[in-house]
Structure 1
Amino acid sequence: MESKRQQKFAGVIQQDLAAIFQREVSSLLPNTMVTITKVRVTPDLAIARVFLSFFNNQNTSLALQTIKSHASEIRYKLGARIKDQVRIIPQLEFFVDDTSEYVERMDKIFEKISKEPRQPDTEE
């Protein structure tokens, strides 16, 4: 369970990273929209786990590797934005948020189930 402090800090990081990704990181992944779906921060606020969702991109693992290879640059830009609000700038760890893929997969399963003919309930 995250504390209020962690949640608030994660929100600040998510907001500022979203602006950074929107303006400056778009050059790393042309024609790809990157969304920061959630940020989780460790209790000591030293590590921020950032979950990303990629739209209009076929190879998410390559996109994630590109982001990870520029993590220090992204952290520097984040530090420039939040330096007056925090003591330390957290290390950034990036992960793919596959929630949308999971939802699509579940929708397909439910759709398949609903199309199957229903068998009559047998009472004994």
Structure 2
Amino acid sequence: MSKDNNPKGPSQRMLRVGELVRHALAAMFARGEVEDEALRGTVVTVPEVRMTPDLKIANAYVMPLGGQHADEVVAALNRHRRFIRGQIAPQLDLKFAPEFRFFVDETFEEADRIDALLRSERVRRDLEDDDKDE
């Protein structure tokens, strides 16, 4: 099941609104509008925003450039989520302003882990054994 608890996957509307929110957050972070010591001098990327089916919660997955101090950056963004909501909500044409929740984006770490696993000696041996069987 996906992180947004929707067994069928996100709807087109959820995807569209998530992408609008992602762009608005990325622009806001690029302008440096959120003032916090943990964010000073840090470039924050927003790879994905997942909306709940009712569009009332925006789960934003973020990563500081270089991946350093990710937990501190996420904590700072969560401290300022009411301010962020107030800045982003007018840009969205929604009935309700979504509540923001920030999380560390771990997709790059997971991809690195899978890549390392695929390059491991054990997997290489298994692949060689499959080639011999053919």
Q: TM-score range by the shorter chain?
A: 0.7 to 0.9
Residue of structure 2 aligned with 1:48, choices 58, 61, 66: 58
User: Aligned AA for 1:55?
Assistant: L
Identity %: 28
TM-score between both structures, scaled by the size of structure 2: 0.75
- 1:88 paired to 2:73: no
> Which position in structure 2 is the counterpart of 1:108?
116
Give ranges in structure 1 of 5+ residues lacking alignment.
Answer: none
- Alpha-carbon distance in 1 for matches of 2:119, 2:49: 32
Aligned length: 121
- Alpha-carbon distance in 2 for matches of 1:74, 1:43: 21
| Post-superposition offset of 1:73 | 0.9
Check whether the contact 1:32–1:57 (CA below 8 A) recurs between aligned residues: no
Residue of structure 2 aligned with 1:19, choices 11, 21, 27: 27
Deviations 1:28-65 (A, max 9, x none): 31232211111111111111111112223522111111
Deviations 1:58-111 (A, max 9, x none): 2211111111111111111102322xx111110001111111112222223333
